[in-house]
Amino acid sequence: MTQPIHIFSRESSSLSEEAYVAIRTMIIRLELKPGSLISESELMAKLRFGRTPIREALRALANERLVEVYPRRGMFVSSVDVKDLAAISEVRAVLEIKAAELAALRSTAADHVITSELINEIKAIKGLPDMAKLIGLDQRIHHHIYECTHNEFLASSLDNYYGHALRIWFLALDQVAGLAEAVIEHRTLLEAISRNDPAAAAKAMREHIEGFETSIRKSL
């Protein structure tokens, strides 16, 4: 049985935040189908939150364009359009490369400990690893890099765009080849960050983003 995948974002400091994280995860993992009508009562029953936290969470997700609101019709899960991949990749190519540079420059001693742990996890990947674990590891790597920038505005923006890219990844999951290789290549990136080499970190991140878009495009 695979472990649940947790979509990282802001820390859950309230019921609304917890509801936000839970619903966002369901949307990104396509457990809430793209284009489907959102039922507040069903979410309340499933997640065991009151109406107010659910509504506040959905409002936040609408701001991230993961939920669409139509007057007199209701709220719907945003559709997944592969045509958006190029636009998302353009933004990520700029912001993620900058994040990699900043992470290499600003990582603290505590950050370096986590970076080393992630590198060791990558080294331990063998055979045909579980896809859910691989995606979970990929999420933790990206989230860690965002945190290492020590820029909350940049980290928040990147979490948003990563979430949209991940929805497309889940859409193509059964067709994407080389998933393990895509995660393993993060080792080069993390090693550059660990030795405080912004140029090498930027280069590794650029190659990763470009490779991700090419892989998904071929699959779909």
Across 45-62, average pLDDT: 94
Question: CATH 1.20.120.530 region(s) of the chain?
Answer: 84-219
pLDDT in tens, 27-53: 999 999 999 999 999 999 999 999 999
Rounded Cα gap, residues 94 and 64, in angstroms: 19
| Range 68-86 average pLDDT | 90
How far are the Cα atoms of 39, 69, 93, 145 from residue 192, in angstroms, in the given order?
A: 46, 43, 18, 12
Nearest to 90 by CA among 200, 177, 206, 199: 206
Q: Are 142 and 162 in contact (CB under 8 A)?
A: yes
Average of per-residue pLDDT values in the chain: 88
Compute the half-sphere exposure of residue 64: CA atoms within 13 Å on the CB side of its CA.
Answer: 26
Q: For domain 84-219, which architecture applies?
A: Up-down Bundle (1.20)
pLDDT digits (tens, 9 = 90+) for 79-138: 988 788 888 889 998 999 999 999 999 999 999 999 999 999 999 988 766 777 888 899
Q: Look at residue 119 in the predicted model and tell me its pLDDT.
A: 97
Query: What integer pLDDT is reported at residue 8 of this predicted model?
Result: 47
Instruction: Report helix angle 131-148 to 109-123, nearest 10.
Output: 160
pLDDT band at 14 (very low <50, low <70, confident <90, very high): confident
Max mean pLDDT range (131-145, 155-169, 176-190, 194-208): 194-208
C-alpha 196/C-alpha 109 separation (Å) is 11
Give CATH 1.10.10.10 domain extents, the chain: 15-77
Q: Are the CB atoms for 22 and 10 separated by under 8 Å?
A: no
Percent of the chain with pLDDT over 70: 90
Could you tell me the fold of the domain covering 15-77? Arc Repressor Mutant, subunit A (1.10.10)
Count of CA atoms in the C-beta half-sphere (13 A) of 101: 11
**Residue 3 confidence class, pLDDT cut points 50, 70, 90:** very low
Cβ atoms within 10 Å, residue 32: 23
Residue of 99, 86, 169 whose CA lies nearest to 134: 169
Average pLDDT over residues 6-20: 67
Q: Tokens for 102?
A: 């900043």
List helix spans (H) across the chain.
Answer: 15-28, 40-47, 51-63, 84-106, 109-123, 131-148, 152-171, 179-184, 186-194, 198-219
pTM: 0.82
Residue with tokens 């660990």: 194
